[in-house]
């Protein structure tokens, strides 16, 4: 199979989930999407991850992001596991978990890495924009829980840089200064786009306040 890369169209699929049958592209509609995989149901790290995702679901919603999880277990297992997640993490899972016992989604998104495990998916994350293009890919080992605050941070950066001629520097957080892209050189255009002005540390490194605040 072809490895997915940034800018590729996210593969479409139809699969059962804890919230019914899902046609992926249709489900996303005009929203952004986060598709993330889990090695297996009833595993400790995954339980904390799905619980935290439910806790911060409002943060994804206000960014127009739909979250969808997947593991290779079946729907009956998922539904029983959700009860455990809700109980142990003191939350309510409010997003679908795809059932993927036939490994269809895992194969489409290259989520099984045979040298790590021949049966379980690694912790993959795909951020997908409204045009169904893959904008971020993260892969964690099964033993390491993901940082969902980082995923939200990247989505903030992607949505900002899609709308303005900027990039975000190291450790950027929403509200911090940003960088004017080097390709923008017309001073009149810069003044119009960035009325708060900028500081030129170097000709290629121009710092300006976040433009949408």
Does the model's pTM come out above 0.85? yes
Query: Is 176 inside a domain boundary?
Result: yes
Query: Is 5 inside a domain boundary?
Result: no
Which residue in 125, 119, 104, 129 sits closest to 14, CA to CA?
A: 104
Domain at 199, CATH number = 3.30.1020.10
Query: Is 8 inside a domain boundary?
Result: no
Domain at 109, CATH number = 3.40.30.10
Per-residue pLDDT tens for 158-175?
999 999 999 999 999 999
Query: Is 173 inside a domain boundary?
Result: yes
pLDDT at 114: 56
Q: Verify that 90 and 24 share a domain, yes or no.
A: yes
Q: Verify that 168 and 142 share a domain, yes or no.
A: no
Work out the angle at residue 118's Cα, subtended by the Cα atoms of residues 82 and 89, and round it to the nearest 5 degrees: 20
Query: Is 204 inside a domain boundary?
Result: yes
Per-residue pLDDT tens for 107-122?
899 887 655 555 556 6
Query: Is 6 inside a domain boundary?
Result: no
Instruction: Grade residue 85 by pLDDT with cuts at 50, 70 and 90.
Output: very high
- What total number of domains does the chain contain? 2
Averaged pLDDT score across all residues of the chain: 93
Q: CB burial class (10 A; 0-12, 13-18, 19+) of residue 104?
A: middle
Domain carrying residue 96: 14-146
Catalytically active residues are 46
Which residue in 81, 97, 87, 91 sits closest to 37, CA to CA?
A: 97
Task: State the average pLDDT over residues 85-103.
Answer: 95
CA–CA distance, 173 with 175 (Å, rounded to integer): 6
Q: Verify that 94 and 184 share a domain, yes or no.
A: no
Q: Verify that 26 and 56 share a domain, yes or no.
A: yes
Strands 65-71 and 32-37 turn out to be parallel
pLDDT at 142: 82
Per-residue pLDDT tens for 125-163?
999 999 999 999 998 888 899 999 999 999 999 999 999
């Amino acid at each position: 199979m072809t490895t997915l890369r940034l800018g590729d169209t996210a593969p479409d699929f139809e699969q059962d989930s804890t919230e019914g049958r899902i046609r992926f592209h249709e489900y996303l509609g005009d929203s952004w999407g986060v598709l993330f995989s889990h090695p297996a149901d009833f595993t400790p790290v995954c339980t904390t991850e799905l619980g935290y995702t439910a806790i911060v679901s409002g943060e994804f919603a206000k960014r127009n992001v739909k979250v969808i999880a997947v593991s290779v277990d079946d729907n009956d297992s998922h539904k029983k596991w959700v009860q455990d997640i809700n109980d142990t993490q003191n939350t309510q899972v409010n997003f679908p978990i795809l059932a993927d016992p036939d490994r269809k989604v895992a194969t489409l998104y290259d989520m099984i890495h045979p040298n790590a495990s021949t049966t379980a998916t690694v912790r993959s994350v795909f951020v997908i924009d409204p045009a169904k293009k893959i904008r971020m890919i993260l892969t964690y080992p099964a033993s390491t829980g993901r940082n969902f605050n980082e995923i939200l941070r990247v989505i903030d950066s992607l949505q900002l840089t899609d709308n303005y001629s900027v990039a975000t520097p190291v450790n950027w957080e929403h509200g911090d200064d940003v960088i004017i892209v080097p390709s923008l050189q017309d001073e009149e255009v810069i003044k119009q786009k960035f009325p708060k002005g900028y500081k030129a540390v170097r000709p290629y490194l121009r710092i300006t306040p976040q433009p949408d605040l």
